[in-house]
Amino acid sequence: MKKITTKKLKRGDKVAILSPSSAAPAVWPHVYELGIKRLKEEFGLIPVEYPATKKKGATSEERIADLVAAFSDSEIKAVITTIGGDDEVTYVKNIDPGVFIANPKPFFGFSDNTHLSNFLWLNRIPSFYGGSIFTQYALEGGMGDFTTKYLKIALFESGEFELEQSKIFNDKGLDWNDPSTLTMKREYEKNEGWIWNGEKSAEGITWGGCLESIDEILRHGIEIPNLKEFEDIILMTETSEEMPSSDYCFRVYRALGERGILSKVKAVLNGRPQAWFFDKQLNSKEKIKFKEDQRKVILGTIRKYNSNCSVIQNMDFGHTNPQIPMPYGKKVRIDSKRKKIYAEF
C-alpha cells in the first residue's frame, strides 16, 4: 500500500477539535473543558472548535462540513475527536475524499470513528486509533504517564517505537454527570499483560477498529480493503462499552472468516475488552470470565480460518485506560520469538 505521509506537530500548532459522532461537549461541558485545558497545558497545542463541535443533534451535513473545513485549513495540523458515538456509518460514505487527499493530516479517534479511519485508509491516509478528548485528555484525576507518553509520540515524533505493556489498567468509569468526579482517581487493577498465541513473526499495515463498527461496515456493504490488500494487513480489533457477548464476537469474526479476510491477514491484535459499564456493573469474577470468554471465542474463530498467524490479545488500545493511540494504516512489526511489537508512528 502506497500511503500518504502526514506531518508531525510542534508545540504552538493549531488542532481541530471535532465531534464527528456524538456531541458530548454539549452534554458534559465540564469534562470537555478539562480535556481542552490539558491539551493546552500538557501538549502546548491550540484547540480550534468548529460549528458542530458542541452542537447536540448536528446533522451529518454539518459534521461533514466541519471535517472538510478542518482538513482544508492549512493552519490546522491535526484533527482530534471529542468522543465516539454510533452513527458515522450513515454518512461517511457520502464524503468526497478529494480535500482529505489534498490536505492529509493526523486524525485521532476511536470507537465509532473506526468509520472515518477506514475512510482515510482507503484513501491512503494513516490515522491514530485513540486519543479522544473525553476519554484520554479529560480522564479523571490525571491522564497518566503511559497514555501521555504515547500521545506525545503520536503527535510529535516519527519512526518505529516499541509498544510496551501497561502494568495496570482501568475499565470502570466515573459518572460524568457529577462534576466532582473530575478530581477523583479511577480504580486500577493489575494487568496480566499480553496473551500471545502463535510463533509466526510478521510485518504489515494495520486496519480494523471497534468490532461493533466493523460489524456495521460489513452489514451495510461499506468499502473496505480488498482481499489482495488484506495479505499485507495486521488486523486490529477491540470491543466497546456495549460489552458484546462472546457469541456476538464469534459471529463478527466468523463473518471476517467467511469473507476470506482471516485467512489472508498477517496477524491479529486485540485490545483489552471493557468489562464494566454503568448498566453492566460486573464484579471481579464476572469481569474475568467475561474477558476470558471473549478472548477464547475470538482465538478459536481465527484458528478455524488461519492456523499460523500470531494472535496477541489484551493489548492497551481501544476502550481501556491507559491507552496507546494505535497507528492505523501504518506499519507494525511483530517479533514472536522475543514477544515484542513495534509500531511506526
DSSP string, 150-216: HHHHHHH--SEEEPP--SEEB-----TTSGGGGGSPPP-EE----EEE----EEEEEEEEEHHHHHH
pLDDT-derived band at 280, boundaries 50, 70, 90: very high
Tell me the per-residue pLDDT of 134-176, one tens digit each, with 9 for 90 and over: 999 999 999 999 999 999 999 999 999 999 999 999 999 999 9
What percentage of the chain reaches a pLDDT higher than 70?
Answer: 100
d(CA 33, CA 37): 6
Q: Please give the grid coordinates belonging to residue 16.
A: 481541530
pLDDT at 1: 58
Going from N- to C-terminal start, the domains of the chain cover 14-138, 162-344
Q: Report whether pLDDT(2) > 70.
A: yes
CATH of domain 14-138: 3.40.50.10740
Q: Report whether pLDDT(263) > 90.
A: yes
CA-based nearest residue to 176, from 149, 140, 151, 207: 140
Phi/psi zone of residue 178: left (φ > 0), alpha (ψ -120 to 50 degrees), beta?
A: beta
d(CA 116, CA 312): 25
Distances (CA, A) of 196 to 206, 299, 338: 18, 10, 11
Residue count of the chain: 345
Q: Report whether pLDDT(84) > 80.
A: yes
Spatial contact of 118 and 110, defined as CB atoms under 8 Å apart: no
Q: Please give the grid coordinates belonging to residue 244.
A: 458484546
Helix/strand/coil percent split, the chain, to 5: 35, 20, 40
SS3 171: coil
The residues pairing with 57 across neighbouring beta strands, listed in sequence order, are none
Task: For residue 79, count other CB atoms closer than 10 A to its CB.
Answer: 24
E strands within 146-247? 160-162, 168-169, 189-190, 195-197, 202-210, 233-238
d(CA 288, CA 20): 33
SS3 35: helix
Distances (CA, A) of 337 to 68, 167, 198: 44, 22, 10
Q: Report whether pLDDT(3) > 80.
A: yes
Tell me the per-residue pLDDT of 181-192, one tens digit each, with 9 for 90 and over: 999 999 999 999
Task: Give the distance, in angstroms, between the CA of residue 332 and the centroid of all CA atoms in the same chain.
Answer: 15
pLDDT at 318: 98
Spatial contact of 227 and 198, defined as CB atoms under 8 Å apart: no
Q: Please give the grid coordinates belonging to residue 250.
A: 464469534
Residue 17, H or E segment: strand 14-18
Q: Please give the grid coordinates belonging to residue 263.
A: 485467512
**CATH fold of 162-344:** Glucose Oxidase; domain 1 (3.50.30)
